[in-house]
Amino acid sequence: MIPSPSHFSCRLRTIALLLLTLFLIACSSKGDVMEGRTADELYLEAKAAVTKGNYARAAQMFSQLQTRYPFGRYTEQAQLEMAYAQYKLDQLEQAIATLDRFIKTYPAHPNIDYAFYLKGLINFEENYGFLAKIFPSRVRDRDQTIARQSFNDFNELLRRFPDSQYAPDARQRMVYLKNNLAAYEIEVSKYYMRRTAYIAAANRARYVLETYPNTPETSVALAILHEAYMNLEMEELADGAMRVLALNFPEDPYVTGQKGKKSWTSYLWPFE
């Protein structure tokens, strides 16, 4: 006898229910395993996952630890280490949010200096993309909001914890950030010069000298000041800028009359 369509439909429903039941049992079993683990077990497994580079698993375990043991001895450290796992997973916004929450909730934590350092590091690396790795000098053309935040994070670390083990690396990164921030302001100043907005150009150049002193862009800022003031017919200010430039950078191309000469590396980026 040939089974009727309704018979097939009934069998399909039965199979579907059976599969759903098996799935729920599996999930339940997995949940029971998670439920039965102690805080020590969860923390050690999460740390082991970090060591193996399984950051997704580590983030999951640290999250479970905080949920199941919100007042345990590992809760604070788990939140900090979860931020690191999120950072390694390129979940940068989530990592920053986790760190901000950690800093606000546990301001006296023994590893609070690491929280500031990691936050600065995340913002530092977020400021660079694939193009910046190929043309590092072009980082100066990008919006520098995140770079400024990274600089502020590292600066806060050094202000509060000058003897931190992370302080030397933070100082080096701040030098790099400072140079790039100065270079960005110079690019903006040059933009104004090309459009004959000489007051705006001079203001930007002066801002570089005041805010980012002793950077490679100092001589460029002085040259822009001289040229802008000359165009504004402010000869006394122009002469002052040139005197400072010549005194501190006697071999500068602007002083020696070689300002129009380009280095061969500039031709690698033809989009000026």
pLDDT score of 25 more than 90: no
Distance CA 241, CA 167 (A): 36
pLDDT score of 156 more than 70: yes
pLDDT band at residue 70, thresholds of 50, 70 and 90?
Answer: confident
pTM for the whole structure:
0.71
Amino acid 33 reads: V
Tell me the domains of the chain and their CATH numbers: 34-106 (1.25.40.10)
Mean pLDDT of 236-253: 94
Kindly give, in sequence order, each residue whose CB lies less than 8 Å from that of residue 188, ignoring residues fewer than 6 positions away.
Answer: 204
In order, the DSSP letters of 130-196 are HHHHH-GGGGGGS--HHHHHHHHHHHHHHHH-TT-TTHHHHHHHHHHHHHHHHHHHHHHHHHHHHTT
Q: What is the pLDDT of residue 11?
A: 59
On whether the CB atoms of residues 177 and 147 are closer than 8 A, the answer is yes
SS3 of 249, please? coil
Q: What is the pLDDT of residue 20?
A: 53
Neighbours of 124 (CB within 10 A): 21
Distance CA 166, CA 152 (A): 15
Q: What is the pLDDT of residue 262?
A: 45
pLDDT score of 183 more than 50: yes
Best CA proximity match to 225, nearest among 253, 266, 254: 254
pLDDT band at residue 165, thresholds of 50, 70 and 90?
Answer: very high
Contacts 24+ apart (CB under 8 A), 31-38: 34/64, 34/68, 35/68
44-55: per-residue pLDDT in tens? 999 999 999 999
- Give percent of the chain with pLDDT exceeding 70: 75
Distance CA 94, CA 129 (A): 19
195-233: per-residue pLDDT in tens? 999 999 999 999 999 999 999 999 999 999 999 999 999
pLDDT score of 153 more than 80: yes
Which segment of 33-47, 100-114, 257-271 scores lowest on mean pLDDT?
257-271
